[in-house]
A and B are shown apart, each in its own frame.
Chain A
C-alpha cells in the first residue's frame, strides 16, 4: 500500500459523534458476550491447574474422574496427538495443556467436561497428578544467570552470547552511530537502572467459549476473542483438523487490550467436545484469568543518556531485559525499539533480551513492551532536563524526531506528529498553570507506538431499500462498528443510520488478522472505504447502463450517480436508493468487497501531563489532574478516540501506582483476584482531559492512524516523574506502591 492514500476532503459523517450501533444492546443487557450463550445438552468444562511453579508431570491418573457419574470427558496432553508444525503453535499447545512439565502456577494439566459445574469440580479433585517439583525462577535478572533453573532446554537462539542461562532465548540489537564517541562528547551523562512489575490487562470479562465438535470432523466455536480467524487457525492446527471445517464466531468482547489475541480455553473445549460428543462451555474464574492468562512482561532496564550543556543529546544507550513468562515472546525487542523512538539521535544503541521464567506466558498488552521502555528512558530524560535547568518540554522539542529523522530502531520517519504533540502540551493551560501546594509535583513524558495494518477483508452489500449491510471480521472492542459505518456512509454519501455493520464469522468473509496493533480503524477502515468504492463503481455502471452512456461518463456525488459533465448527457442524478431498487433488472445484487494486507499504518506519538500529591507519611499518591495529548490522524469518532486515550492513561496510572504480580517464595501468585491485584477504581482518579491532534496519516484515504495503544506508553514515566518531584526522591521501580514510596522517602531523608 502506498503512502499516498490520503486525500484532503470535507467530511460529513467522519469526525461527528454519532451513537454507536451496539449501544442499546449494551445498555439493556441484551448484548451476548463470551459466557452469555448456551447450547442444548451443553456440558460444563473446567481445567485442572498446576499448584506448582515448576514441576515435572510424572503421571496423570484420570480413571477415578472418568468413572464419576456425570463426567463425560477428561482431557490431558495425551489427547492432543497432532504436533503443530510451527514453533509458535508448539508453545501455544504447551501453554494451553502442559506437556512434560508444568511451567507456572496455574498451568493447565488436565480438563474435564461434566453435566454440571459441581460434578466437574468434584471430577477435578479426583484426578491424580504425580508431580516432581523442580526449582523455579520468577525474577528476570535471576533467570538470566547461568546457574538459574532452566525451563526449556535447547531453545536458545544464536543471537544470545555465551555466559547466559538457557532461559535467555533471544537477544536483539538496534541503533546507529557510535555511542562511545557520543558519551565522550557529553557534558552530562546519567545512567540509571529501572524495574517494572508484571501487570495484567485486567479486562473485566473472563475468557469464555462454547465449543461443539461432532464425529464428522466439523466444529463450531463461539468465544470472546480479539481475533476469531486466528482462533480458528490455531485451534485447527492444535486439533489436527482442516481449517475450513471449524467455524468460529466472535461474541461481544468484554475487553482484551491484547490479552485476547491468543487461545487458552478454546482448543481444550473443542477437545472435550470432540471426546464427549456434546457442546462444552468453559469460562475462566478471575483467579484463573490472573494465574494463567496473559500478563505483560516484568522488566529490568538500564538506560544511559549523555547531553551537551546546550541541551542536545549526544548518545543514548539502553539494555532492556524482559521477562516473558514461560514461553518465548518479543517484548524485549519491542522495548528496545520503542524506548528512544521519540528522539533524533546521532548515536544510539539498544539491546532487547527475551527471558523465560516460571510465570504465565506473557500476552500482548496494549503497545507491548513500550510502556516500560518509555518509563526508563523518559525518567532519565526528565532528570537530565532538571540537571540542565531546562523545561522538560523544551528539552524534548530540541531533541525530538521529525519527518526525515532516522529512527532509533532503523527506518526513516515520514510525516509524524511528535513536535505537534509537544507544542500542544506546551501551549496547554495545564502546563501553564503553576502547581501550588506542598508535596505536589508535575510530571511529563512522551510515548511512541508503531501501529499496524495487516490482513483485512470487508464486504459491503447494497440492500434493495437503499440501506447498507457492512461485514467486517474484527471483533468490535471499543466502538469500531460505529467507525466502520461512519466511513462507509462517508464514502457512499449516505446517512450513517443507513449502514449497519456486523462482525462476520470465519466462514463468511476472507482472512482478518487479530484486532491488535491499533489496526482496526486504520486497516478495516481502509478496506471499508475501498469496498464502498467498489460498490460505487458497480452502481455507476448500473446508472450508465440505465442511461445508455459510458461508465466513465458517470460520477458519484453525494450518494448519487450523475453524468460527469455536460458532455455525458442530461440525466437526473440517481440516488443509491434508486439504483438499489432497480438492481434486479440491471444485473443483480450489488455488493462491494475489498481484501488487503494493509501497510502504511503510520506511527503515533503521545504526551501526558500529570499533577500528583504525595502523603509523605504514608506514601499514598493522589492524582490531581491529568491531560493526554495524542496524534490520532483523522479522528473518525472523536468520543472513542478520547476514550482510548483516557483508558490507556488510566491503565498506565494503575501500572505506575499499584498494579503488580506478587509472587511468594514458592513461586505461587499471591494476588490472583481484583482485591489485591489493584486496578484503579473510579474514586482513585480525576477526569482525564484529552487533546486530539489530527496529523493526517499519508497511508490512509482519510488520514486515519491507530490510536488504541499509544495512550498507555507515556503514563508510567509521567507518573514517575510527577511522583519523584512531589516526593523529592527519584523513583526507579514500579509500581510506586505506598510501602515502596514511603521507604524511598525515608531513605532519602537519611
Chain B
C-alpha cells in the first residue's frame, strides 16, 4: 500500500485515477476503522488535507464554500456559518465524539454514503452542491445525487469532492437537524431529519424541505411532508400533517439500531420537532 499526500486537486485526481483501488483520506474517522477491521485493502491512500485551501470555510456569492478538509469541529467554531445554517452545523457536530469531531469532515460523511450520515440531510435540505474534481475536470453535483446506495456514491473512478457549496441563506430562512440515538452521544442515528424553511413577509412558509436520514438506503426527500408546511405558520395542525407525511415517506429496515415501526414513528416525531425549531429560527426567534 502507498501513502500519498498531494498538494493540488489535479495531482490528487491523477493519483486516484491511476489506481482502481485507491481511497481518499480526509478525516479518516471511517476509513481507518475499516482498514483496521480488514474490510478494505486499498493499494493507495491519498491524503487530501495538504491541498491548498482545502481546509477553508469561505464566503462565496452570499453562500458558503466548505472544503473537504474542514473538520466538523472547525465548522462548529465558525459563528457566521452557524448563524446561517445552524441545522447543517448541528448535523455535522453530531458525528462522533469531541475527538472524532476534531478529524471528521462533512464531505467524508457524505462520501461514505452511509444511510445514517448525520450531516447529509441538512445539506440536501439546503440544496447544497458538491464540487467534484476528477481526471476529466470538475463538475458541480447536487449533494442529493452523491450517495446512491449504502456505501456507494455516484463518483467516477478518480473523482473526489473538493468542497461543498451552500447557497445564500436569504432573509427569513431557518434550518434544523434532529436525530434519534439510544444514548445521548456516540451512536449512529436510528432516524435523522432535517427541515429547511424560508418564510414570506407574513411569516408563512414559502419554501420548505424535509429530508430524512437512516430510514432508507439513502437520504430521502420527504416532499409531501415539506408540502404540508407551505403556506402555514407551522401551527400544530400543519406539524401533525408534516409528521404523518414524514412517517409515510420513511422506508426503513429492521436492524440492530431500530425496528421498522419504531423508525417510522420516530421519523414523524423528529419531523415535527425539527420543523418547529426551523420555523422559530426562520422567524429570528431563536438561534
Q: Do chains A and B touch in the complex (CB under 8 A)?
A: yes
Complex Cα gap A738–B183 (Å) = 9
Taking A676-B256, A680-B183 as given, write out 12 further A-B residue pairs in contact, using a Cβ cutoff of 8 Å, ordered by the A residue number.
Answer: A285-B36, A617-B266, A618-B266, A657-B182, A658-B182, A670-B255, A671-B256, A674-B186, A675-B186, A683-B183, A737-B182, A738-B180
Complex Cα gap A678–B183 (Å) = 8
Beta-carbon contacts under 8 Å, B179-200 to A:
180, 182-188, 190
- Assess the B183–A739 pair: CB atoms within 8 A: no
Residue of A nearest to B257 (CB): A676
Complex Cα gap A619–B36 (Å) = 35
Q: Which residues of A contact B185 (CB under 8 A)?
A: 681, 683-684
Distance from A706 Cβ to chain B, minimum over Cβ atoms (Å): 31
CB<8 Å pairs between A and B, sample of 16: A617-B265, A618-B180, A618-B269, A620-B182, A670-B255, A671-B256, A674-B186, A676-B187, A676-B256, A678-B187, A681-B184, A681-B185, A684-B183, A684-B184, A684-B185, A738-B266
Tell me if B138 counts as interface (CB < 8 A to partner A): no
Complex Cα gap A618–B265 (Å) = 8
Distance from B34 Cβ to chain A, minimum over Cβ atoms (Å): 12
Complex Cα gap A293–B38 (Å) = 21
Give residues in A with beta carbon < 8 Å to B. 121, 285, 287, 617-620, 657-658, 662, 670-671, 674-676, 678, 680-681, 683-684, 737-739, 742-743, 746
Tell me if B259 counts as interface (CB < 8 A to partner A): yes
Among B184, B257, B269, which residue has its beta carbon within 8 angstroms of that of A683? B184
Interface centre among A671, A739, A742 (most CB of B within 10 A): A739
Distance from B63 Cβ to chain A, minimum over Cβ atoms (Å): 33
Main secondary structure of the interface of B (DSSP, over half): loop
- Assess the B265–A742 pair: CB atoms within 8 A: yes
- Assess the B183–A121 pair: CB atoms within 8 A: no
- Assess the A739–B184 pair: CB atoms within 8 A: no
4 shortest interchain CB distances as A-B pairs: A739-B262, A683-B184, A617-B269, A670-B256
Q: Which residues of A contact B187 (CB under 8 A)?
A: 675-676, 678
- Assess the B269–A681 pair: CB atoms within 8 A: no
Residue of A nearest to B37 (CB): A287
Distance from A718 Cβ to chain B, minimum over Cβ atoms (Å): 19
Distance from B261 Cβ to chain A, minimum over Cβ atoms (Å): 7
Distance from B75 Cβ to chain A, minimum over Cβ atoms (Å): 20
- Assess the A743–B184 pair: CB atoms within 8 A: no
Residue of A nearest to B272 (CB): A617
Q: Which residues of B contact A658 (CB under 8 A)?
A: 182-183
Q: Which residues of B contact A619 (CB under 8 A)?
A: 262
Complex Cα gap A743–B264 (Å) = 12
Complex Cα gap A694–B256 (Å) = 44
Q: Which residues of B contact A121 (CB under 8 A)?
A: 38
Q: Which residues of A contact B262 (CB under 8 A)?
A: 619, 738-739, 742-743
Complex Cα gap A618–B184 (Å) = 13
Complex Cα gap A739–B258 (Å) = 6
Distance from B145 Cβ to chain A, minimum over Cβ atoms (Å): 28
Main secondary structure of the interface of A (DSSP, over half): loop
Complex Cα gap A287–B184 (Å) = 23
- Assess the A675–B188 pair: CB atoms within 8 A: yes
Distance from A75 Cβ to chain B, minimum over Cβ atoms (Å): 21
- Assess the A662–B256 pair: CB atoms within 8 A: yes
- Assess the A743–B183 pair: CB atoms within 8 A: no
Q: Which residues of A contact B261 (CB under 8 A)?
A: 739, 743
Complex Cα gap A657–B182 (Å) = 9
Q: Which residues of B contact A617 (CB under 8 A)?
A: 265-266, 269
Complex Cα gap A746–B38 (Å) = 42
Q: Which residues of A contact B184 (CB under 8 A)?
A: 681, 683-684
Q: Which residues of B contact A285 (CB under 8 A)?
A: 36
- Assess the B180–A739 pair: CB atoms within 8 A: no
Residue of A nearest to B261 (CB): A743
Q: Which residues of B contact A675 (CB under 8 A)?
A: 186-188
Residue of B nearest to A742 (CB): B262
Distance from B168 Cβ to chain A, minimum over Cβ atoms (Å): 34
Beta-carbon contacts under 8 Å, B142-180 to A:
180
Complex Cα gap A619–B263 (Å) = 11
Q: Which residues of B contact A287 (CB under 8 A)?
A: 37
Q: Which residues of A contact B266 (CB under 8 A)?
A: 617-618, 738, 742
Residue of A nearest to B269 (CB): A617
Q: Which residues of A contact B258 (CB under 8 A)?
A: 738-739
Q: Which residues of B contact A680 (CB under 8 A)?
A: 183
- Assess the A738–B37 pair: CB atoms within 8 A: no
Beta-carbon contacts under 8 Å, B6-47 to A:
36-38
Beta-carbon contacts under 8 Å, B204-260 to A:
255-259
Q: Which residues of A contact B183 (CB under 8 A)?
A: 658, 678, 680-681, 683-684
Complex Cα gap A670–B261 (Å) = 20
Complex Cα gap A61–B79 (Å) = 61
Distance from A421 Cβ to chain B, minimum over Cβ atoms (Å): 30
- Assess the A738–B182 pair: CB atoms within 8 A: yes
Complex Cα gap A121–B38 (Å) = 9
Complex Cα gap A742–B188 (Å) = 19
Residue of B nearest to A735 (CB): B182
Distance from A734 Cβ to chain B, minimum over Cβ atoms (Å): 13
- Assess the B180–A620 pair: CB atoms within 8 A: yes
Distance from B45 Cβ to chain A, minimum over Cβ atoms (Å): 15
Complex Cα gap A680–B258 (Å) = 18
Distance from B187 Cβ to chain A, minimum over Cβ atoms (Å): 7
Q: Which residues of B contact A738 (CB under 8 A)?
A: 180, 182, 190, 258, 262, 266
Distance from A256 Cβ to chain B, minimum over Cβ atoms (Å): 23
Complex Cα gap A121–B39 (Å) = 13
Distance from A410 Cβ to chain B, minimum over Cβ atoms (Å): 41
Q: Which residues of B contact A742 (CB under 8 A)?
A: 262, 265-266
Residue of A nearest to B187 (CB): A678
Q: Which residues of B contact A657 (CB under 8 A)?
A: 182
Distance from B186 Cβ to chain A, minimum over Cβ atoms (Å): 5
Complex Cα gap A742–B259 (Å) = 11
- Assess the A739–B188 pair: CB atoms within 8 A: no
Complex Cα gap A285–B33 (Å) = 12
Distance from A171 Cβ to chain B, minimum over Cβ atoms (Å): 33
- Assess the B259–A739 pair: CB atoms within 8 A: yes
Distance from B286 Cβ to chain A, minimum over Cβ atoms (Å): 21
Complex Cα gap A675–B100 (Å) = 13
Q: Which residues of A contact B36 (CB under 8 A)?
A: 285
Complex Cα gap A128–B255 (Å) = 31
Q: Which residues of B contact A743 (CB under 8 A)?
A: 259, 261-262
Residue of B nearest to A654 (CB): B183
